[in-house]
Amino acid sequence: MSLLPHPASPERVAASGGPVHAGVGHRLMSRHGRTSTPEEFDLLGLTWHLLPNVFAPIHTDSTELFTTWLPFPVGGNFLEMGCGTGVTSVMAARSGCAHVTAVDITPEAVRNTALNAQRHAVADRVDAVQSDLCGALAPTARFDLVFFNSNAIPAPCEFVYTRPLQHAIFDRGYAAHDRYLREGPSRLTAGGRMFLGFNSLGDAFRLHALAAESGVRLVERNRSVRCAGDVPVTFQLLEVVPAGAGDTA
């Protein structure tokens, strides 16, 4: 499997992410107007609730791809960061996970996930929790698989979040990616695995540098060129592994 490239020249790093990709993010935001976003949507053979101010998987193929690519631990515990509508968490429970913890920074997404867990008869195995990554989880909580479909588009440090939906698209100062890479490995059981859903609208060189600083590396497990809004995007499922670990799937 291929790895993310090592950081290149400062010019190349500066060009990664940037105004063009931010423009795609703003267009995705505009697609979520109340008049254009339905109250329900179909995905992976099921119908799902969609509340206002929650990121809609109908506008990008990321949720469908990552959900079908993830190796859900049958009989194990699954943690999803940034659960949104809860599609991935619900499908994890339906795929045989004994317990699922779905966290999101916005209360709208937490409520949406709980509604979909109830709708698809897995509410007894899915806990939806409002949390900024692991912040609200018990210190002793450990998981067999941890996943974050990241808000890949970088935003400058002075960026101000004015709508809940922006947390699903933009990462101010890449702080969420930094925290995920630093804190996520400590949440794994022995033999547990950690994944990041990323795409070509993100800053791959910065992500790779953050991984190195955290003592991990990123191994690509799957990729596909699909769409985010009206733009072709390369989606990648990256596994987070210790820096000295071998490359085994």
- Straight-line distance from the first to the last Cα atom of the chain, in angstroms, rounded to the nearest whole number: 9
Residues in CB range of 145: below 8 A, 6 or more apart: 70, 71, 72, 73, 76, 77, 78, 79, 192, 193, 194, 195
**pLDDT classification of 241: cutoffs 50, 70, 90:** very high
pLDDT in tens, 43-68: 999 999 999 999 999 888 999 999 99
**pLDDT classification of 27: cutoffs 50, 70, 90:** low
**Residue 144's closest CA among 95, 177, 178, 106?**
95
C-beta neighbour count of 183 within 10 angstroms: 15
DSSP β-bridge partners for residue 241: 217
C-beta neighbour count of 171 within 10 angstroms: 23
pLDDT in tens, 88-133: 999 999 999 999 999 999 999 999 999 999 999 999 999 999 999 9
pLDDT score of 246 more than 70: no
CA 69, 74, 76, 78 torsion: positive or negative?
A: positive
pLDDT score of 162 more than 50: yes
- H/E element, 90: helix 87-94
pLDDT in tens, 196-220: 999 999 999 999 999 999 999 999 9
DSSP conformation class of 6: P
Tell me the percentage of the chain whose pLDDT exceeds 70: 83
Q: d(Cα 5, Cα 121) in Å, to the nearest integer? A: 42
The model's pTM is: 0.87
pLDDT score of 233 more than 50: yes
> Phi, psi at residue 229, to the nearest 5°?
65, -120
* Averaged pLDDT score across all residues of the chain: 87
pLDDT at 33: 55
Q: d(Cα 209, Cα 19) in Å, to the nearest integer? A: 21
Mean pLDDT confidence for 137-150: 97
Residue 99 burial (10 A CB sphere; 0-12, 13-18, 19+):
middle
pLDDT score of 1 more than 50: no
Considering only 14-23, 46-55, 140-149, which range has the smallest mean pLDDT?
Answer: 14-23
**pLDDT classification of 78: cutoffs 50, 70, 90:** very high
